[in-house]
Amino acid sequence: MKQKEIGKLPPFSVAMCVYAGDNAEWFGEALQSITLKQTVRPDEIVIVVDGPVPKTIKNVIHKYMEISVQESFCLKPVWLEKNRGLGNALKIAVSQCQYEIIARMDSDDIARRSRFKTQLEILDLNPHIDVVGGDISEFIGDKQNVVGKRTLPVTDKEIKRYAKKRCPFNHMTVMYRKAAVMKAGGYQDWFWNEDYYLWIRMQERGMVFANTGTVLVDVRVGEEMYRRRGGWKYYKSEIRLQKYMLDHRVISYGAYVMNCSKRFIVQVLMTSRMREWTYKALIRS
């Protein structure tokens, strides 16, 4: 990466989504981690409220709207009458962001203190990079109760090689250029694979990727996460994406067969407990 003196960092937006099933307390912690506890705060936070939500979540949004006035950042909620799913909600969120650089954040995770500064410096020094993500630390209950870590390749070449087997970014950590995302068609509805599908389409268009090689976000996990990553519906979504990659010559037929076979074992044949052990022992570090 280029080396030059870093001047004033560019303004940026944060794209978030929240829906009725989210935990209001965790949502508040997520917002706190990207505002009051960040070394570099966002200039704008766009929160797409994906359908009707309970009063507890509304209260968190109203609380941080008041804080945004005091702390000089813009918080813009976008209220949807019906739940439209993550892919559609994110498409709306990105379109509503006014700044060229956008960071993703999930509604129940905790950003590390220097997350945005780290990513902004990389994008500022390397205008050819379109997406920069990072590693995650996974915890249950208390943030100190770390149960896993997902470490990803750092360079563009390594990331694109990794993408032939698995999703090359931790979605909740990414920061990207809006123009590059829009050029690839933006987010689209794809069950549990909205992000992976986007990265593949960006790769096809020659976008340049990077990961920091450092942990940027602490991520909540639990038995529910491993349950969601199994079953026929999830498997069919994964296989449909693998077929897209095969048809578009991102992967070979041999890689397609191997990827589909591994996913069938993990997502269909294994119980949630077995899947949890596999992720922790073999897939996560």
241 and 168 Cβ atoms separated by less than 8 Å: no
Residue pLDDT tens, the chain, 285 long: 443 445 589 999 999 999 999 999 999 999 999 999 999 999 999 999 999 999 999 999 999 999 999 999 999 999 999 999 999 999 999 999 999 999 999 999 999 999 999 999 999 999 999 999 999 999 988 888 998 899 999 999 999 999 999 999 999 999 999 999 999 999 998 888 999 999 999 999 999 999 999 999 999 986 666 556 667 888 899 999 999 999 999 999 999 999 999 988 887 877 767 666 666 665 555
Q: Which residues are within 8 A (CB) of 233 and not within 5 positions of it... i.e. 6 or more apart? A: 191
Place of tokens 């498997």: 235
Looking at residue 83, its pLDDT comes to: 96
In this structure, are strands 110-111 and 101-104 parallel, antiparallel, or unpaired?
unpaired
CATH code, 12-221: 3.90.550.10
